[in-house]
Every structure is written in C-alpha cells, then in structure tokens.
Amino acid sequence: MSSLNRQKDPLVSELPALPALPVTFRPKRTRAVLLGAGAAMFVVLTVISLLLPTLSPGERTSFIFTGALLLGVLMLLSRPKVVADDSGVTVVNIASSRRLAWAEIVQVTLRPGDPWVFLNLSDGTSLAALGIQPGIAREQAVADAKALRALVDARTPRGD
C-alpha cells in the first residue's frame, strides 16, 4: 500500500490484538443519547398530558402516543450494531440485517469524513455498517474498525 493511502485511511496504522469472539461493535454513546432523549421525551409528553386539566381524553392519548412514537423512532435509530463470531459477521442497520461469512468480506474501510464503516464485499458491492460510526466517539469507532479489520484479515483466506 502506498504512503498516500496510509495517510488517508486511519485504520492502516497499527493493527490491534484480536478481540475474543463473539464481539459486538455498536456506537454506545450515540445509543445512550438516543435512548435517553427518547425516554425523556416520552416522560415529558406523558406528564404534560396528565397535568393539563383542559385536555380531553383523546388529546391526552395523542400526547402519550406521540411520545411513544418518538421513543420508538429513536429506539430504531439506536439499533445498528456489528456482531462478529466464529462463522462470520452480522451487520444490523436501522431497518435491515445481513449475515456475512468471513470470506465474503474483502476489506473494512473508514476514511476521514465517512459517516460509518463500509465493508467491501467479494461480489463487488459495498455494505454500510452503521454499528461503527465516528459521530460522537471517533476514537472508539476507529479502534472498533481496526479490530474488525484485524478479525477479517485473520479469518479470511487470501490467495496471493
């Protein structure tokens, strides 16, 4: 790999020790913020609906339903994760889940400015892995991406 590519890809520097399998990678801080905000909104809307004396039962129900809907959306946004085990990798994104064998993953990339890790696959496509995203915790995302890359390199046979 050229020195130019090494400078652009923060994963290329040093490879970490392999984590014990199974291992789950997920944006913990982002998840905590989303779930905390969702729970807070639900509680606030429920309390408001119960404390306002002028609301009809239908209006109270709509306040509570809106809080539950917002909580549900934020729970869905907090769903992404990447689970690696002995037989492969499961990528769980917001509305989908995909199971990959180790041999299907050609490369793990996280370039500066990328919103999350991309897995380049043997069929020529790329799969976004939202479970490793540098949003709030960039250092953790880079460490997770390096660990996943090390696992892929160790478990994928390469014909040189």
What are 43-92's pLDDT values in tens digits?
A: 999 999 999 999 999 999 999 999 999 999 999 999 999 999 999 999 99
pLDDT at 139 over 70: yes
36-to-43, 70, 96 alpha-carbon distances in Å: 11, 12, 23
**pLDDT score at 138:** 87
What's the pLDDT tens digit per position in 104-127? 999 999 998 899 999 999 999 999
pLDDT at 25 over 70: yes
**pLDDT score at 7:** 45
Q: What is the pTM of this model?
A: 0.79
**pLDDT score at 32:** 95
CB 108 within 8 A of CB 148: yes
Q: Which residues contact 99 (CB under 8 A, 6 or more apart)?
A: 88, 89, 90
pLDDT at 156 over 60: yes
**pLDDT score at 157:** 72
CB 18 within 8 A of CB 84: no
Say what percent of the chain tops pLDDT 90. Answer: 78
11-to-8, 22, 144 alpha-carbon distances in Å: 9, 21, 10
